[in-house]
Amino acid sequence: MALRGPAGLGPGSRRPLDEAVAGAEREAPALLAAGGAPEDDEEDDGRGRGLLRWDGFSAWLHCVCVVGFDLELGQAVEVIYPQHSKLTDKEKTNICYLSFPDSNSGCLGDTQFCFRFRQSSGRRVSLHCLLDQFDKDLPVYLKKDPAYFYGYVYFRQVRDKTLKRGYFQKSLVLISKLPYIHFFHTVLKQIAPEYFEKSEPYLEAACNDVDRWPAPVPGKTLHLPIMGVVMKVRIPTCHDKPGTTQIVQLTQQADTNISVILPTVHEVDIFRCFCPVFLHSQMLWELVLLGEPLVVMAPSPSESSETVLALVNCISPLKYFSDFRPYFTIHDSEFKEYTTRTQAPPSVILGVTNPFFAKTLQHWPHIIRIGDLKPTGEIPKQVKVKKLKNLKTLDSKPGVYTSYKPYLNRDEEIIKQLQKGVQQKRPSEAQSVILRRYFLELTQSFIIPLERYVASLMPLQKSISPWKSPPQLRQFLPEEFMKTLEKTGPQLTSRIKGDWIGLYRHFLKSPNFDGWFKTRRKEMIQKLEALHLEALCEEDLLLWIQKHTEVETVDLVLKLKNKLLQADREHLPVKPDTMEKLRTHIDAIILALPEDLQGILLKTGMT
């Protein structure tokens, strides 16, 4: 398969898009923030200080690709915008194949879906410095994974007799590090249909709009104009109460602009996805929680990607730490790695549409086969749990193929509630709220005993001395944790009976526990460092230096400066006045030293 870019169109084919990129390169030093604000101006919206051309764009997107079908070349990247965006050949190949449905899907008209692919090894990981700052305020499940890109696709396939193949086939693809599925699908709905009519100049204008957006700051209500439409969004923060939507619904304004209000940036219609399998939703929650290998076989990429994303989302606010691919093809660069029979299937959730996978992945322990997702308001026939040996033919019936025995008893209450909603024609959005709340309560009941035990590993505050290194966390001992469950287990908050102990034992060996505990451990170590800094600030350091030598005083100054740098670099949870106090202490100590030492210490690092 050959890959084309705008440069491959020949010297005489310079288009408005190329002109725009050339212009952008010429004016690279020019600032775009706030219509060309001077470099030392600060913006209240978090857009940052003195952003260069395309910095605003790259806070949201890595690039925009147009993938077309060429009779001689096959799927090919026709446009990458902005043109200076860097993609390796391997990344371009992945984008090409993942941007089109498999030929058997028969997707006529417009189709939207999402994929996720691994960043090429050897590529320098360069996250926007501002985004690092924003990332710390995000819920853990929305933090960027520097090793992966998301691709958001708007694919159009319509009959066209003027073309040799008889069909117009093209995808507009947004490549981003941000897992804001609902948001980017909404952006594509606004721009893709017109792009297919108006081509490159329209895409150029849309990208220029994105470049003027404020930065994606968690917790702020953002107004994002794109091609005459204003979208109102709010990115969640780690401080939000789980399961709540913070954005205030606007009353319809008498405005020429259409306002699109998004109550969520990342959530999918979870009930629509779980609808064919909602009788088994609790078992699927267990499989995702435990990081079990899972395949979703669906008729189209939109159904496979939505279902995979709904599965990953069902253990929220826990993050799913293993790999997941909303849409996976036989051309994927990890195809051999994930389909080999020489080792056990990896901890990954794959969404596939090619019938070939029914044979290739039949050794996987858990397979969900779904039919066409019904429109909102309709209920598909509930699928059964079937033995894996029954999944032999390509036309196997929809079902959950597994020999897994759930640890917990099925919650009949939620099933009755959802079935009643179907009978009463309750809107899918309302059903999703009920199902999402059920999953949230289940996950919280499971995780609260772990949170309580891990909090007990923290040393007492009185053991923190300013003149010693911060104390170590106690070790996590599985058996010690298990003993706490008798009195403070999930039975305090959940009505569900079953083998909770067995579920915890299995979870403690899973990638999700490993990822969760590493995150919590890092947060607790940072908290200890912050408390140590605060203890230092409360000391009378000038009195201390009177009792110590110049060498010891210089050593103290250098250590305090390192502490300041660490607090800044690692975003330690330190109060702003603590940092200011420490700077004041450092300045006072330096001024108490001889002048020659003052000059040296003032030059080393910040004060």
Helix axis angle, 281-289 relative to 500-507, nearest 10°?
A: 40
For residues 113 and 171, the answer to whether their CB atoms sit within 8 Å is no
Specify which residues 168 forms β-bridges with: 158
Residue 474 CB neighbours (<10 A): 12
Residue 485 pLDDT: 94
Q: Give the SS3 label for residue 60.
A: coil
> From CA 580, how far away is CA 571, in angstroms rounded?
15
> From CA 561, how far away is CA 569, in angstroms rounded?
12
Query: Tokens 């940072």 sit at which residue?
Result: 526
**What confidence tens digit (pLDDT) does each residue in 124-151 have?**
544 444 456 677 888 988 988 889 999 9
For residues 19 and 6, the answer to whether their CB atoms sit within 8 Å is no
Local mean pLDDT, 10-residue blocks, the chain (607 residues): 36 35 34 29 38 83 91 84 91 94 76 93 53 77 91 91 78 96 96 89 93 92 91 90 62 54 89 88 96 94 95 95 95 88 91 88 90 58 64 65 94 91 89 94 96 94 82 94 93 92 97 96 91 84 82 84 83 82 84 78 59
161: left (phi over 0), alpha (psi -120 to 50) or beta: alpha
For residues 141 and 172, the answer to whether their CB atoms sit within 8 Å is no
Indicate the residue type of 6: P
> From CA 351, how far away is CA 336, in angstroms rounded?
16
Residue 374 pLDDT: 58
Residue 578 pLDDT: 83
Residue 392 pLDDT: 52
At 323, phi and psi to the nearest 5? -80, 150
Residue 185 pLDDT: 96
Residue 387 pLDDT: 65
| C-alpha to C-alpha distances, 544 to 193, 355, 467, 556, 589, nearest whole angstrom | 70, 74, 11, 10, 10
Question: Parallel, antiparallel, or unpaired for β 366-369 and 221-226?
Answer: unpaired
Burial state string for 41-69 with b = 16 or more CB within 10 A and e = fewer than 16: eeeeebbbebbebbbbbbbbbbbbbbbbb
Domains of the chain, CATH where assigned? 55-215 (3.30.450.200), 271-434 (3.40.50), 443-512 (no CATH), 540-604 (no CATH)
- Tokens representing 292? 């079990």
- Tokens representing 360? 């290739």
| Dihedral over Cα of 316, 317, 318, 320: its sign | positive
| C-alpha to C-alpha distances, 201 to 81, 156, 299, nearest whole angstrom | 11, 19, 35
Residue 95 CB neighbours (<10 A): 25
Residues across the chain: 607
For residues 109 and 305, the answer to whether their CB atoms sit within 8 Å is no
Question: Parallel, antiparallel, or unpaired for β 229-234 and 148-159?
Answer: unpaired
Instruction: Please spell the DSSP secondary structure of 258-304, one letter per residue.
Output: EEEE-S-SS---HHHHHGGGGGGHHHHHHHHHTT--EEEE-SSHHHH
Could you give the dihedral angle defined by the CA atoms of residues 51, 54, 58 and 62, in that order, rounded to the nearest 10 degrees?
-160
- Tokens representing 494? 């959940």
The contacts found for 44-48 with CB under 8 angstroms, 24 or more apart, are: 45/214, 45/215, 45/217, 45/220, 45/222, 46/130, 46/134, 46/214, 46/215, 46/217, 46/220, 47/214, 47/215, 48/130, 48/215
Residue 13 pLDDT: 35
> From CA 39, how far away is CA 41, in angstroms rounded?
6
**What confidence tens digit (pLDDT) does each residue in 496-541 have?**
999 999 999 999 999 999 999 999 999 999 999 888 888 888 888 8
Specify which residues 157 forms β-bridges with: 109, 169
| Mean pLDDT across the chain | 82
